[in-house]
Structure formats: structure tokens, C-alpha cells
Amino acid sequence: MSTLARAPVFKPFTLALVQLGQIGANKADNLKHAREMVLKATTQHSKKPDLVVLPECFNSPYGHVHFPVYAEKIGWTPGTKYEIEKSESESVKMLSQLAKETKTWLIGGSIPEADTESDKYYNTCTVYNPDGDLVALHRKIHLFDIDIPGKITFKESESLAPGKTPTYFDTEFARIGLGICYDIRFPELSMIAARKGAHVLIYPAAFNMTTGPLHWELLQRARGQVIAEAGEKEEIIYADIEPKVLEETRQGIPVTTQRRFDVYPDLRTLTNRKA
Ligand SMILES: O=C(O)CCC(=O)C(=O)O
């Protein structure tokens, strides 16, 4: 069993989710607009949010032809201090500056990342503290490979490589687990985050309109109450996150401590489908 740093005490905080309109072809314009929306999110609400979240792929149109063109080199090494000034990524620099300027935690949606070491592209989310430090980086683990005849065929893995590491990070108000869009469909990932002490799970997303609408609310909800929801257009929504609800629910329905790992087998041994 691995040992973990103790999670921070879960405290009330205000969350702002930024939903952007259509992403255009001009990266500079996309970055400028995302910046304006984060500035708006941190100034227009009666209570300044502690954490702002941007959506998946916010600096680039979504698609195989676009990923390599819009991809940026980030060059992050986990466990080492990232030097923003030396970063080759204009998006990382913009997000870092924005977090610092607004003195807010910022989850920078995701951007196409070009990794020079592996020579691969990833769908990558970066996270900044209110000093502008890059504190976490998540590469989408479950790539959206789908083939529903006559409806949607898309293979993210044709141009992107999958991340290999579940990600969580600590703020002064919560431990937060991260995933990107399709990652939300895999409960194993959220279970790992929860067992590592995460109080909150965040999944920046850009769902397609074929497979998304049936499940996006259900997947986000899992078993709780929806307290804020955006429409289909550009919008900023806010929510006051209240630890008491989580604590009372976990105490009242203690599934966390009642799991029967002695009974559950390695699920890989049970599969009856071709991998
Ligand atoms: O899970 C879904 O329905 C859609 C996922 C998706 O669009 C994505 O991961 O980009």
C-alpha cells in the first residue's frame, strides 16, 4: 500500500465553471477569449470564486487535423518545480499569468500537448495555484474511440496517446481529482481519486452531441444533487461547495469503509469480450 501526504481539511469554497461558445481557428483569439471569460468569472459574481475551470480543448478546434497544428510543448516533469518563464507553451504562460493576476486557482481545461520525449500528442489539462505555479498536469487517460454506425465515428487514439497516471492535487480547501471528458465514464478512475482522499472530482469536457446528452448529467451526478447547470450556450456558472453535505453523506451511507475487496476479483479475469 502506498503512503500519501495527508489531504487538506475540506473547507467550503466557491467554484466557477466557464463554458465557452464555439472555438475558432485562431489560437490567439481563443486564448484571448478564454482569458476574458476567466477575468469575468472572477469579477462579476457577488462572491469571488476560489477555483475557476475552463473546458476541454479550449485553445484549438477539436479534431485529428488540428491537434498537431495547435499542440504546444509543455515539458513538465512531475515532482520538480516548473519554470513558467522558460515554458515554450503560450497557453501555459497565459494561464499561469491569469491565475496570478486573479489570485485564483485555475484548472486550465485542456490543450493539445506535444511531448518531445515520447514524440506523441496528448489531451492535457494543467492546473495553477493563485501564485501562478503549475502544480498539476493530467493527460486524458481514456481516449474517445467510438464507432456508432450512421451516428458517430471518431478515434481520438489515431492522433493522441493516452495518459497513464491518475491525477489529483491539493488546494487549501480540498484535495481535487482530475479527469478529462470521456475519463468520467470510467468509475475506476474516480474511485482511485476518492480512495486517495479527493473531496472533489473535476472533469473539463467538450462532449459531442451524439453520445453526450444521454449521460452527461447522470455521470456528473453519480449519486448527488445537481446544484448548478449551464445551458448549451456560452455561460459561467457558480456553486458554493459545502463539505458538510459530503461528510454527512459519507457518514450516513458508509460505502467507503464497507467495500468488500476480499470478494471482488481482478475484473480483467472476468471479461467476456475481446479487449
Ligand atoms: O463520453 C462521451 O459521450 C463523449 C466523450 C467525448 O466527447 C470526449 O471525450 O471528447
Question: From the candidates 56, 72, 113, 156, which is the catalytic residue?
Answer: 56
Query: What residues flank ligand 1, with Cβ below 6 Å?
Result: 144, 181-182, 185, 206-208, 211-212
Q: Is residue 2 part of a domain?
A: no
> Which ligand 1 atom is nearest residue 181's CA?
9
Question: From the candidates 72, 125, 140, 156, which is the catalytic residue?
Answer: 140
Q: Where are the beta strands (DSSP E) in 116-241?
A: 120-128, 134-139, 145-148, 152-155, 167-170, 175-178, 200-202, 235-241
Q: Is residue 249 part of a domain?
A: yes
Give CA 109 to chain center in angstroms.
Answer: 6
Q: Is residue 5 part of a domain?
A: no
Q: Is residue 3 part of a domain?
A: no
Q: Is residue 149 part of a domain?
A: yes
Entry pTM: 0.95
pLDDT tens for the 275 residues of the chain, in order = 556 789 999 999 999 999 999 999 999 999 999 999 999 999 999 999 999 999 999 999 999 999 999 999 999 998 899 999 999 999 999 999 999 999 999 999 999 999 999 999 999 999 999 999 999 999 999 999 999 999 999 999 999 999 999 999 999 999 999 999 999 999 999 999 999 999 999 999 999 999 999 999 999 887 798 999 999 899 999 999 999 999 999 899 999 889 999 999 888 888 776 65
> Which ligand 1 atom is nearest residue 207's CA?
7
Catalytic residue status for 93: no
Q: Which of 139, 144, 147, 184 for mutating ligand 1's site (highest number of atoms within 8 Å of CB)?
A: 144
Catalytic residue status for 56: yes
Radius of gyration of the chain (CA): 19
What was the ipTM of the complex prediction? Answer: 0.97
H or E element, residue 111: strand 111-115
Catalytic residue status for 232: no
Tally of domains within the chain? 1
> Which ligand 1 atom is nearest residue 180's CA?
9
Range of the domain at 76: 13-269
Q: Is residue 115 part of a domain?
A: yes
Which CATH number fits the domain that encloses residue 53? 3.60.110.10
Q: Is residue 214 part of a domain?
A: yes
CA distance 148 to 138: 28
Q: Is residue 169 part of a domain?
A: yes
Of all protein residues, the one whose alpha carbon is nearest to atom 5 of ligand 1 is 182
Q: Which long-range contacts (CB under 8 A, 24 or more apart) does 141-144 make?
A: 141/165, 141/166, 141/179, 141/180, 141/183, 141/186, 141/189, 142/182, 142/183, 142/185, 142/186, 142/189, 143/182, 144/181, 144/182
